C-alpha cells in the first residue's frame, strides 16, 4: 500500500501559478492558515492557526487567499497520474490517497521503484510535490509518509515494521489526539513500544473498549482495512461562522436558509436524501451543542431542511437569549433517492439574498418570470405553479427556491393524495 500525500498542497498550487512565491514563507488562508510552506513552518506557523498569530511568528509571511476550485482541479490532476500506476485508489481527502500497487510489480518493479517513478511522474506532469509512505498496511503507510515529509519516500519493509513503529511517539498513531495522548501519558505510555507492551485491559479502563482495541492493534501493525476505491458519503453538512455574537433572529433565518440550500443541493445533485438532520450551534463563549431530529422519511428538500433546522434552533434559543457565533446543519442517515429534481436558478449573488429575504428587485422578478415561462413550456403549467406563487409574494418564509420541493409540497393539498408523503425508496443502484 502506498500513501500518497501532497506537500503543503494549497501553497504548492499557488507557487505553481506564481513562481515568485517559491522558497518564501507563504500561507494560504483567510482568517486562519489552511496551508503553510515549509519556510513558514520553520517559524512555527501551523495550519488552523489564526493569521494574526502567524504574522506575529513570521512577520515576512506572504498570505494568499486562494480559490478552492483551483485546488480541486489540481487534486484531480495528481490522482489522474496515480491512476496510471494502479486503478485501486482510495482518495481520503483533497490531498491524500491510498494506492494498492500489489498488482503493479510486474509492470513497474519493486515498491521503491514504483513509488520513485510515481513521485517523478507527478512532479513532471503537475509540478507538485508528493511524499510517499509504503508498507503492508494502510495505517503504517500513512505513518511512513508523515515521517517521509517533505519531499520524501519511505518504504517500510515487512521485517522492519516493528522496529520502525515502536521507535515513534504515540501521537503518530491514527486516532491519538491531544486528549488521548495525555490520558496515555498518565499511564506512563509515551512511545508506541510502551503502548504495545501495555495489556489491552489496562488501556480499556482509561480509553474504553473500542479505543483500547484500536490502539493495541495499531501498535502491533494489525490493520486489515483494504484499499477500497469509492466510499459513499455518510453525511453532508454546511456551517457558517459569523464571528462575535449575534442575537438577531432574522440573521439566523437567513443563515439557516443558506445552509439548508447548500446541504439540499448537494444531496440532490448526488441523488441522496437524509433522514436525520442535526443543527450545530456554537455560542459566543465557544460552547458548542447539537440538536438533532430524525424524520419518518428521508428528504433532500431545501425547504424541509430549513424548516427542521429553524425548529431545532427554537428549541434552545429564543429572542434575547445568548449570542451565537456559528450555525451548522448536518444531514446524515443518508439513502439513495432517485427523484428527478428541477431547480430554478437564482444564483448566489445579491439577488438570491433579496429573494430569500422576500424583497424582490424588479430585474430579478423579470428574470425569474422568464425562467418560469420556459419551464412552463417544457413541463406544463402545473409544474411551475409554486414558482409563480413565490414571485407573487405568497410565500412569506425566506426559503430558497427549488422547483420540485414545492411541487411536492403542493400536491397533497391539491388532490388530497397523502400517499405522496412517503415516496418509496429504491435500492442503491449497483454502480452509480
Closer residue to DNA, CB minimum distance, 215 or 406: 215
Measure the CA–CA gap between 366 and 391, rounded to whole angstroms. Answer: 10
Using CB under 7 A, list all residues that contact DNA: 31-32, 34, 47-50, 53, 92-96, 142, 173-181, 208-211, 233-241, 243, 262, 266, 275-276, 286, 288-294, 325-326, 328, 330, 332-333
Give the shortest CB-55-to-DNA separation in angstroms. 12
Q: Which is nearer to DNA, 217 or 354 (CB)?
A: 217
Residues 6+ positions from 126 with CB-CB distance below 8 Å: 16, 74, 77, 78, 81
Distances (CA, A) of 216 to 56, 105, 184: 41, 32, 12
To DNA, the closest distance from the beta carbon of 20 in angstroms equals 25
Judged by beta carbon, residue 417 or residue 428, the one nearer DNA is 428
Kindly report the length of the chain.
432
Active-site residue 125, yes or no? no
The active-site residue, picked from 14, 96, 405, 408, is: 96
Report, in Å, the least distance between residue 161 CB and DNA: 20
Cβ-based nearer residue to DNA, 175 or 412:
175
Helix (H, G, I), strand (E, B) or coil at 363: helix
Nearer to DNA, 96 or 408 (CB): 96
Q: State the minimum distance, in angstroms, from the CB of residue 123 to DNA.
A: 20
276, HSE (Cβ side, Cα atoms, 13 Å):
10
Of 76, 81, 89, the residue nearest 118 (C-alpha): 81
Shortest distance in whole angstroms from residue 237 CB to DNA: 3
DSSP 100-148: --TT-HHHH-SHHHHHHHHHHHHHHHH---EEEEE-SSHHHHHHHHHHH
Strands lying side by side in the sheet with 288-299: 235-246, 324-336, 272-283, 288-299
CB atoms within 10 A of CB 177: 9
Nearest distance from residue 282's CB to DNA, in Å?
Answer: 8
What distance separates the 2 farthest-apart alpha carbons in the chain? 74
Q: By C-beta, is 142 or 253 nearer to DNA?
A: 142
Q: Is the peptide bond before 150 cis (omega within 30 degrees of 0)?
A: yes
Just list the catalytic residues. 96
Amino acid at each position: 500500500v502506498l500513501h500518497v500525500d501532497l506537500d503543503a498542497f494549497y501553497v504548492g498550487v499557488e507557487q505553481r501559478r506564481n513562481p515568485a512565491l517559491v522558497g518564501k514563507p507563504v500561507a494560504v488562508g483567510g482568517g486562519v492558515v489552511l496551508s503553510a510552506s515549509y519556510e513558514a513552518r520553520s517559524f512555527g506557523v501551523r495550519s488552523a492557526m489564526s493569521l494574526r498569530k502567524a504574522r506575529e511568528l513570521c512577520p515576512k509571511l506572504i498570505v494568499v487567499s486562494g480559490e478552492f476550485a483551483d485546488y480541486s482541479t489540481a487534486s484531480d490532476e495528481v490522482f489522474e497520474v496515480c491512476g496510471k500506476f494502479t486503478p485501486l485508489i482510495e482518495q481520503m481527502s483533497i490531498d491524500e490517497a491510498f494506492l494498492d500497487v500489489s498488482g503493479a510489480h510486474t509492470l513497474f518493479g519493486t515498491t521503491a521503484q514504483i513509488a520513485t517513478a510515481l513521485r517523478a511522474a507527478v512532479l513532471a506532469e503537475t509540478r507538485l510535490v508528493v511524499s510517499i509512505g509504503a508498507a503492508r498496511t494502510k495505517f503504517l503507510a500513512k505513518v511512513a509518509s508523515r515521517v517521509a515529509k517533505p519531499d520524501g519516500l519511505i518504504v517500510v519493509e515487512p521485517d522492519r515494521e516493528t522496529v520502525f513503529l515502536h521507535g515513534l511517539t504515540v501521537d503518530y498513531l491514527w486516532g491519538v489526539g491531544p486528549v488521548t495522548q495525555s490520558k496515555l501519558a498518565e499511564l506512563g505510555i509515551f512511545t508506541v513500544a510502551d503502548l504495545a507492551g501495555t495489556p489491552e485491559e489496562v488501556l480499556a479502563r482509561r480509553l474504553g473498549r473500542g479505543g483500547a482495541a484500536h490502539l493495541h492493534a495499531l501498535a502491533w501493525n494489525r490493520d486489515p482495512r483494504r484499499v477500497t476505491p469509492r466510499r459513499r458519503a455518510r453525511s453532508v453538512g454546511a456551517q457558517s461562522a459569523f464571528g462575535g455574537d449575534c442575537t438577531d433572529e432574522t440573521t439566523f433565518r437567513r443563515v439557516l436558509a443558506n445552509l439548508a440550500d447548500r446541504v439540499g443541493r448537494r444531496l440532490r445533485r448526488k441523488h441522496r436524501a437524509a433522514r436525520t438532520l442535526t443543527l450545530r450551534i456554537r455560542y459566543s463563549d465557544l460552547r458548542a451543542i447539537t440538536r438533532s431530529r430524525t424524520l419518518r422519511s428521508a428528504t433532500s428538500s431545501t425547504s424541509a431542511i430549513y424548516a427542521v433546522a429553524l425548529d431545532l434552533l427554537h428549541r434552545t434559543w429564543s429572542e434575547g437569549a445568548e449570542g451565537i457565533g456559528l450555525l451548522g446543519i448536518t444531514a446524515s442517515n443518508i439513502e439513495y433517492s432517485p427523484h428527478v429534481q428541477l431547480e430554478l436558478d437564482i444564483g448566489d449573488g445579491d439577488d438570491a439574498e433579496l429573494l430569500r429575504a422576500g424583497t424582490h428587485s424588479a430585474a430579478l422578478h423579470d428574470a425569474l418570470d422568464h425562467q418560469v415561462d420556459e419551464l412552463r413550456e417544457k413541463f406544463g403549467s402545473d409544474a411551475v405553479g409554486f414558482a409563480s406563487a413565490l414571485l407573487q409574494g405568497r410565500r412569506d418564509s425566506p426559503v430558497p427556491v427549488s422547483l420540485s420541493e414545492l411541487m411536492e409540497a403542493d400536491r397533497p393539498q391539491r388532490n388530497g393524495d397523502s400517499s405522496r408523503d412517503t415516496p418509496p425508496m429504491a435500492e442503491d443502484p449497483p454502480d452509480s
